[in-house]
Chains A and B, each alone.
Chain A
């Protein structure tokens, strides 16, 4: 299997597998976030569960972290390799004639998503880790002890317009990334058959609707608080 992981196709496989995992994760993330619009209480409860459940915290969270890191690191490694595969670039290249902008610029959409993720981690994940595992406060309650803190924290973050704008932009890039990435992941694992056409349509819908949903949530909280 080590041969597999060092081969070009093996690496594509693992890129696709991590992508599948991340796409499922995003779906789940979205499902929880949309609760903040529909029912703040349910949102709080679900957040608390996710934030304190041992299986999620010690099982899924490390896998997720590994998936994210792997997808980015391997993405960059492959990009460098791919660039090196052509020593002299074309004086004139008409890429638009044969492929989409999204497919040719995964490294840029991915790169911007990375910037966004760093900010996102600074905003939410690091404070969470700090509160729970450094301060040792696993209660999930607000400082005054009156109810859960998650919804408050969320709405608070979306007050400054610059952050909302940045998040929206981040999701636009996520959409661009997914517009190619969704169907590309299936092709990478060898799924290209009579279902491919339908799958591509579904992928496009996913790539547009999910980020749009996130944008909606961000705007909703910005304008309602």
Chain B
């Protein structure tokens, strides 16, 4: 199929960007979206133009690196997939596809479609861990039985890949789903209890500091999340945060 692409081009972090139009031809419907981008880049290289920079790595939907806003949705129109798993059969011959970077003040553009998500890193550093040293003599893994339901729910929260689609889709650029998922994972496990109070307070404080917006419960994040992280995680974080604030 033949397609028209409107892509955000921006030379560097300080430069002004703009949408630029390209044409690609003979795209197979079996291609992934990023393979279609490869075709475009090969074409640009051959014409001595600079290829479009975009983040990608594993190309199997788990590393969380790819981050395109396609036709007005994070990771495009399909559900439960990242950009790299989006296939061209979702589009029709002759379509015009708009491709933008994930946009948020806390995710500044580095180049073209590449964004800086280090704000997520700093949130995790603020408390996204359990303080246990590697000693080789921690207690036996089966010493504390964990309710299967709690373990499974923690696992569901832990499947977050940190791609930032939640922030990109949120009209407020809120990072609550991401932070909620991480807080939930630890809140649900006995190992996470000791530091629970400080963890949620520190992570939320860092989240606010990074300039993410506030959650208004539109639920867009849950719909666009490639891993189906539930809004329940945000509710759980709200509870945790409230309880932690009361404890002081």
Residues of B within 8 A of A81 (CB): 213-214
CA distance A4 to B201 in the complex (A): 9
Residues of B within 8 A of A187 (CB): 217, 231, 234-235, 238
Contact with B along A1-34 (1 / 0, CB 8 A): 1011001111111000000000000000000000
Residues of B within 8 A of A83 (CB): 213
CA distance A190 to B200 in the complex (A): 14
Say if the beta carbon of B33 comes within 8 Å of chain A. Answer: no
Which of the segments A61-69, A100-108, A134-142 contacts the partner chain? A100-108
Having A10-B245, A84-B211, A94-B71, one finds 9 other A-B pairs with CB under 8 Å, namely: A3-B205, A12-B215, A82-B173, A95-B220, A98-B219, A190-B235, A190-B238, A191-B235, A192-B231
Say if the beta carbon of B174 comes within 8 Å of chain A. Answer: yes
The 7 closest A-B pairs by CB, nearest first: A94-B72, A192-B235, A190-B239, A85-B213, A82-B172, A98-B223, A82-B213
Contacts A10-B245, A13-B238, A92-B98; A82 near B216 (Cβ below 8 A): yes
Contact with B along A171-193 (1 / 0, CB 8 A): 00000000010011001111111
Residues of A within 8 A of B235 (CB): 187, 190-193
Among residues 209 to 248 in chain B, which have CB atoms less than 8 Å away from a CB atom of chain A?
A: 211-220, 223-224, 231-232, 234-242, 245
- State whether B245 touches A11 (Cβ < 8 A): no
- Residue in contact with A85 in the complex, picked from B100, B104, B238, CB distance below 8 Å: B104
Contacts A86-B103, A94-B72, A191-B235; A100 near B218 (Cβ below 8 A): yes
- A185, chain B: closest CB distance, angstroms: 9
- A47, chain B: closest CB distance, angstroms: 36
- State whether B213 touches A98 (Cβ < 8 A): no
30 A–B contacts, CB within 8 A, in A order: A8-B174, A8-B212, A8-B214, A9-B238, A11-B214, A13-B238, A82-B172, A82-B213, A84-B211, A85-B174, A87-B103, A90-B69, A90-B103, A91-B100, A97-B73, A98-B169, A98-B218, A98-B220, A99-B171, A99-B220, A180-B218, A183-B217, A187-B231, A187-B235, A187-B238, A188-B215, A188-B238, A190-B240, A192-B231, A192-B234
Closest to A77 in B: B214
CA distance A86 to B102 in the complex (A): 10
Among residues 162 to 215 in chain A, which have CB atoms less than 8 Å away from a CB atom of chain B?
A: 180, 183-184, 187-193
- State whether A95 touches B238 (Cβ < 8 A): no
- State whether B73 touches A98 (Cβ < 8 A): yes
Closest to B244 in A: A4
Closest to A186 in B: B235
- A116, chain B: closest CB distance, angstroms: 21
